[in-house]
Amino acid sequence: ALPKILLTRTLPPESQKLIENAQDIELLHWKEDRSIPRDQLLKLIPGVSGFLCLLTEKIDSELLDIAGPNLKVVSTFSVGYDHVDLNEIRKRKIPLGYTPDVLTDATAEMTALLVIAAARRMRESIHTVEDGKWSKWGPLWMLGTQLTNKTVGIVGLGRIGAATAHRLKPFLGSNGKIIYSGNSDKPVAIELGATRVKFDMLIREADVICICCSLNKQTSEMFNYDVFKVMKKNVILVNTARGAIIQQDDLVRALSEGLLGSVGLDVTTPEPLQPDHPLLKFPNVTVVPHLGSATLETRTMMGNLAVENVLSGVRGQPLPRAVEL
């Protein structure tokens, strides 16, 4: 029998063709346009050799035990892998494929978009026009924040953080500043003219804060009430990484106390966020539904890479892009 690959969603057309054209595997394909329920997943996974998953699937010891010893590769259609228990993967020596680089530009575009949208009150101004309130126009009406001369703080100057900084830099002018926090000095900081500072300092000094780090034990709920309290009163806070990096109840509290200027979120806890969620009641909060990588070009490149990762693993070859375990 051919080795089986389980695919839990339909990929962009080019990537879907790529996996369907592979002659040396049998494809198990969850075709519904919604996340596969856990019980269905656990029914389909026993005996598979390759698993191509989305970030909505939790890869833990239970799932890996049920999958059994045939499993030779997990390939996630995402750059983030906080849904994967790395210890369990490591213990079993299963390579983990992911999709870095190909989504950097799209996600950085979204981050820059949310910064500018937050700064210029885009959500409120669209509503104002739609609600027939444009007639209130005046010299001091609907004023936003200008990015010229401001300090941008990037939390995590990785691929996406650096690409975001490159995009925002021209808006800052010659007196603007880029600072960043993270565990190590990044060579890219030199061309950006960016300075590494302690997280404690970044949150105090930055006019614009972009969360571009991965979610892990160190970054989980790194943004909590104590942090919001010391930020600048007009701060623009944007998160395109993972919702859980922000303590969201604390964010709601800080917003209700007027501690923050404007917030742009592409990620929340949970996802999806219900339409009656308190976050959506603040006019200075813009939420978009986890669309950082959502362009056809990028999703196709992600799909192709995820397919190449899973096929390589099943064939016993090194993965084009594997997480270092």
Residue 161 or residue 303: which is nearer to ligand GLV going by CB?
161
160 binds ligand GLV (CB under 6 A): yes
Which span sits near ligand GLV by CB under 6 A: 4-12, 100-108, 190-198, 312-320? Answer: 100-108
Told to check if 79 binds ligand GLV by CB under 6 A, we report yes
Binding window for ligand GLV (CB under 6 A); candidates: 123-131, 152-160, 187-195, 223-231: 152-160
| From 2-10, 99-107, 124-132, 257-265, span contacting ligand GLV (CB under 6 A) | 99-107
Distance CA 113, CA 163 (A): 13
**Choosing from 29, 127, 277, 290, which is the catalytic residue?**
290
290 labelled catalytic = yes
Query: Which of these ranges, 78-86, 172-180, 193-201, 256-264, lies near ligand GLV under the rule CB under 6 A?
Result: 78-86
- Rule CB under 6 A: choose which of 161, 182, 264, 313 binds ligand GLV: 161
Other C-beta atoms closer than 10 Å to the C-beta of 53 total: 26
Return the residues of window 284-303 that contact ligand GLV according to CB under 6 A: 292-293
**Of the candidate residues 36, 55, 89, 306, the single one contacting ligand GLV (CB under 6 A):** 55
| Token pair 């499993």 in the structure block, residue | 71
Whichever of 78 and 145 has its CB closer to ligand GLV, that residue is 78
Q: 159, 140, 242: which is closest to 167 by C-alpha?
A: 159
Whole-Å CA distances, 86 to 242, 251, 304, 325: 17, 29, 23, 7
Q: Does 36 bind ligand GLV (CB under 6 A)?
A: no
Judged by CB, which is closer to ligand GLV: 58, or 229?
A: 58
Report in angstroms how near the CB of residue 293 gets to ligand GLV at its nearest: 5
How many residues form the binding site for ligand GLV (CB under 6 A)?
15
Verify binding: residue 112, ligand GLV, rule CB under 6 A. Answer: no
Count of CB atoms situated within 10 Å of the CB of 119 = 22
Tokens of 249: 């109840």
Sign, Cα dihedral of 206, 211, 213, 216? positive
Task: Give the residue, chosen from 9, 52, 73, 80, that forms a contact with ligand GLV under the rule CB under 6 A.
Answer: 80
Residues 213-232 that bind ligand GLV (CB under 6 A): 214
Q: What residues make contact with ligand GLV under the rule CB under 6 A?
A: 55, 78-80, 100, 103-104, 158-161, 212, 214, 292-293
> What amino acid positions are annotated as catalytic residues?
290
